[in-house]
Structure 1
Amino acid sequence: MDDVCSDLVAEVRAFRQRFPDVRYVDLISLDIPGHFYGKRYPIDMLEKVAAGSALKLPQNCVLLGTQGGLFKIGDYCFNDGDPDAPRRLVPGTLKLVNWEKQPLGQMLITSSGTEKPIVFEPREVLAQVLERLGRKGIFPVVAFELEFYLFDRQLRDGLPQFARDPLTDDADDQPNMHIERLTRFAPVLDEMVETARAQGIDATVITAELGPGQFEINFGHLDDGLRAADWAALFCRSTRGVAMKHNYRASFMAKPYLQHPGSGMHVHVSLYDEAGNNLLAANGQHALRHAVAGCLEVLPHCMPIFAPNHNAMRRLSGTVNVATRASWGFEDRDACLRVPESDAKNLRIEHRLASADANPYLVLAAILVGLEQGVEAGREPIAALNEDRSSGVDFPLEMLEAVRSMESHAQLREGLGAEFVNVYCENKRQDHLAFLQDISAREYRWYL
């Protein structure tokens, strides 16, 4: 038994000793739309997998559409026999699920690091980008911030309802950032944070956001990009579960209300060398400007990643603190790329464009490709918003146009992998077309 297997077996055995009532463990991985798929394993079988027994799932699970259906993408799904592909356990991710009625465990799995990785698996895409940067002596430090809404658990006529204030039993329909809202919703918010920390996630600052029932959670900075994206993915899962326990519905939907702010995924990224020097601060921050230029050049071609569905495109409609063009600025929340005030050691870029329901592995991978290409090309960016409020580059705001822009971009195909770009763009095209196959009540009112 090699060292990795020995460590995994020890992890499983320690978990069983600590939680003897747990009989099953959910083995989970994120698909292209950002949903978890997997299998529920008896915990004694998990120990065998940890010791080296084969773990396989259908390769095409990764290709599921938003509603779980399969699309014909090249030879995948319908002409390939739906083959199995090997997965492995991700060390350090076996944790207790405490929002279910019965004791349960969960653990991340991935094809990354197996003898035959799935090139379009989101975690593998990010792993390849990070590995390439490491070979170049570039080591990112990353922190995610996620916004989400709380709704009443029950929909009304299919529509979300404002969350009920637990102290007054009134609808929380006042959009504000008052600290008192954190007190009023403390029972559910506190359990969300405690549950996240039990999952190994360094959840830190909680903010009451502008929308009614809207909040933001920040995570600690990590020098492991894969783990940072794991945190973001797992937080979404645990937050939904905890909300249900408290008779709420938690959602990371990008734009649930037209009249209120949408929910975003903000990503802070610094780049360091092997000695721990901040590369962005080098040469009087020239590298920072080059990295910004690279991100802005790639950004218009990454819109299917940053705004992965029809509703996410709605969020980019000129509401407060959401950019409608590719832009940057110092301490400017209207910019796609904000450079927060900091010392040279902590100089970083905050990428603010992605929606909260975007796939965190792919969002980070796309950001890093932009930074990588910018640092290497050494070009100057467009004017910062601090210098010119009209500065910016247009990006697509319609999915089919965005897909065409992404699939034809040579640098992105090189940076993320051509096969991934092909598969991802076709998945988004088919998902969007499937979404349009419905006649709404408004359509009848307008055209009947």
Structure 2
Amino acid sequence: MKTPPCALLAEVRTFRQNHPDVRYVDLIALDIPGHFYGKRYPVEMLEKVAAGSPLKLPQNAVLLGVQGGLFKIGDYCFNDGDPDANRRLVPGTLKPVSWESQPLGQMLITSDGTDAPIEFEPREVLARVLQRLQHKGIHPMVAFELEFYLFDKKLADGLPQFPRDPLSDDADDQPNLHIERLSRFGAVLDDMAQTARDQGIDSTVITAELGPGQFEINFSHSDDALRAADWAALFCRSTRGVALKHGYRASFMAKPYLQFPGSGMHVHISLYDGAGNNLLAAHQQQPLRHAVAGCLQLLPHCMPIFAPNHNALRRLGGTVNAATRASWGFEDRDACVRIPESDPRNLRIEHRLASADANPYLVLAAILAGLEHGLETRQEPIAPLNDDRSSGTDFPVEMLDAVRAMQHHRVVRDTLGAEFVDVYCENKRQDHLAFQQEIHAREYRWFL
């Protein structure tokens, strides 16, 4: 996984030649809640890092809560001296930032592939799963789809407002799938897509979704699963920046409106062997059934990953195409695990449960762990929704219940790492408790 210093140094020097006005580069990584943290480096210092100088950041930056605070998790944060940990530059991710007011660059960093990876760093968790699959001769092909909402830049009493149609100055308050909505918001959407491409993200289809100001972006399939998750993470960052530049807010919040559809993260996965054969299509697609069974078995025990906050849990079962139980089906968007129609070469699963604000590294790691478990245990799945509309198994929809279901599940601990599971569950538990510490105005209306 290590890249020779000469290749990284060449990448930095080429960047400097192509962007001589850039003086600083943001070195960024995703923490447990899915926010970027990092440092802003002078570009000349980046050359030293690329040449082999150590790059260290606090280990516990990965553990930040959703509001940026530190929680006591075991001995981390308050009894460990807050140590630094090595990071490395992720090759191919040094790109210009076009949405800031000054010329800037950004580059991903990670602890995976270093001498002492951080066990609970999201990218490292996924890297371990992929390494294990590779040893078994399993090579995933992955594509993400992300839904998001545009809002007016100004909030009304802290609440989001519908975005203004730039042609009519009316609110985009008529939810529909009409192609005209893509035209009306074409300037900002085109800039989002082009900015994504400038970041090295292979984005493809843009769709107007059902909610007011809601859209979806698709990414190409990639045989580099880590890079596919990188794309999803980086797209969220660039899209928020581009929206602000155009006078909007963009949000991947799972359920911003109770009366309209939530925003999901859909993940398409095929599995291939070393010769390029689709493993799911072999033996009359029996491995596909095994993989589906494994996904459904682990799904209730990975809910804190798929729905990582209180608002994400609101999304489940509330409106169209949001599952209420762990289910599967062929060409069925009500299922958690959908099997899109395809030829045997491209046979895949589409995992539809995760919210758009979930951590893409962890979502992909959890799905792959389920697929791996299913291929190994070779159990038959429950009936598909096509045969039985009531088919499905329950999953927890309260955060503390979800944490308990995840923390002590043997297969989840074995496949994702016991240290990660303990740290992640405590982080979610503490975030939930912190969320409950504020009294909402509704409580005074009901109980005062």
- Cα deviation, 1:334-378, whole Å, max 9, x if unaligned, reads 000000000000000000000000000000000000000001111
Q: 1:411 to 1:44 in 2, by over 3 A?
A: same
Give the C-alpha shift of residue 4 in structure 1. Answer: 1.3
Match of 2:333 in 1: 333
Match of 2:41 in 1: 41
Give the secondary structure class of the aligned counterpart of 1:87: strand
Give the secondary structure class of the aligned counterpart of 1:249: strand
| Unmatched runs of 5 consecutive residues or more in structure 1 | none
Cα distance between partner residues in 1 of 2:3 and 2:379:
45
Contact 2:26 2:41 in 1 (8 A): yes
Give the secondary structure class of the aligned counterpart of 1:205: strand
Contact 2:209 2:216 in 1 (8 A): yes
Cα distance between partner residues in 2 of 1:85 and 1:309:
27
Give the C-alpha shift of residue 90 in structure 1. Answer: 0.3
Match of 1:19 in 2: 19
- Cα deviation, 1:47-83, whole Å, max 9, x if unaligned, reads 0000000100000000000000000000000000000
Give the secondary structure class of the aligned counterpart of 2:4: helix
Match of 2:377 in 1: 377
Match of 1:278 in 2: 278
**How many residues are paired up?**
447
Cα distance between partner residues in 2 of 1:167 and 1:67:
37
Give the C-alpha shift of residue 86 in structure 1. Answer: 0.3
Give the secondary structure class of the aligned counterpart of 2:324: coil
Match of 1:407 in 2: 407
Give the C-alpha shift of residue 318 in structure 1. Answer: 3.2
Matches for 1:8-407 after TM superposition, within 5 Å: 8-407=8-407
- Cα deviation, 1:209-242, whole Å, max 9, x if unaligned, reads 0000000000000001100000000000000000
Give the C-alpha shift of residue 317 in structure 1. Answer: 3.0
**Which one-letter code corresponds to 1:232 in the other structure?**
A
Give the C-alpha shift of residue 160 in structure 1. Answer: 0.2
Q: 2:437 aligned with 1:426, yes or no?
A: no
Normalized against structure 1, the TM-score is what?
0.99
- Cα deviation, 1:168-207, whole Å, max 9, x if unaligned, reads 1111000000000000000000000000000000000000
Cα distance between partner residues in 2 of 1:62 and 1:15:
28
Match of 1:444 in 2: 444
Cα distance between partner residues in 2 of 1:87 and 1:3:
13
Give the secondary structure class of the aligned counterpart of 2:391: coil
Cα distance between partner residues in 1 of 2:421 and 2:232:
22
Give the C-alpha shift of residue 3 in structure 1. Answer: 6.1
**Which one-letter code corresponds to 2:244 in the other structure?**
M
Q: 2:422 aligned with 1:435, yes or no?
A: no
**Which one-letter code corresponds to 1:62 in the other structure?**
V
Contact 2:338 2:350 in 1 (8 A): yes
Kindly report the root-mean-square deviation, in angstroms, between the aligned alpha carbons of the 2 structures: 0.6
Contact 2:3 2:91 in 1 (8 A): no
Give the C-alpha shift of residue 95 in structure 1. Answer: 0.2
Cα distance between partner residues in 1 of 2:176 and 2:20:
45
**Which one-letter code corresponds to 1:135 in the other structure?**
H
Cα distance between partner residues in 1 of 2:315 and 2:343:
32
Identity among equivalent pairs (%): 80
**Which one-letter code corresponds to 1:402 in the other structure?**
A
Give the secondary structure class of the aligned counterpart of 1:325: coil
Cα distance between partner residues in 2 of 1:134 and 1:214:
37
Match of 1:4 in 2: 4
Cα distance between partner residues in 1 of 2:122 and 2:263:
21
**Which one-letter code corresponds to 2:159 in the other structure?**
L
Give the secondary structure class of the aligned counterpart of 1:28: strand
**Which one-letter code corresponds to 2:136 in the other structure?**
K
**Which one-letter code corresponds to 2:157 in the other structure?**
D
Q: 1:177 to 1:27 in 2, by over 3 A?
A: same
- Cα deviation, 1:294-353, whole Å, max 9, x if unaligned, reads 000000000000000000000003310000000000000000000000000000000000
Normalized against structure 2, the TM-score is what?
0.99
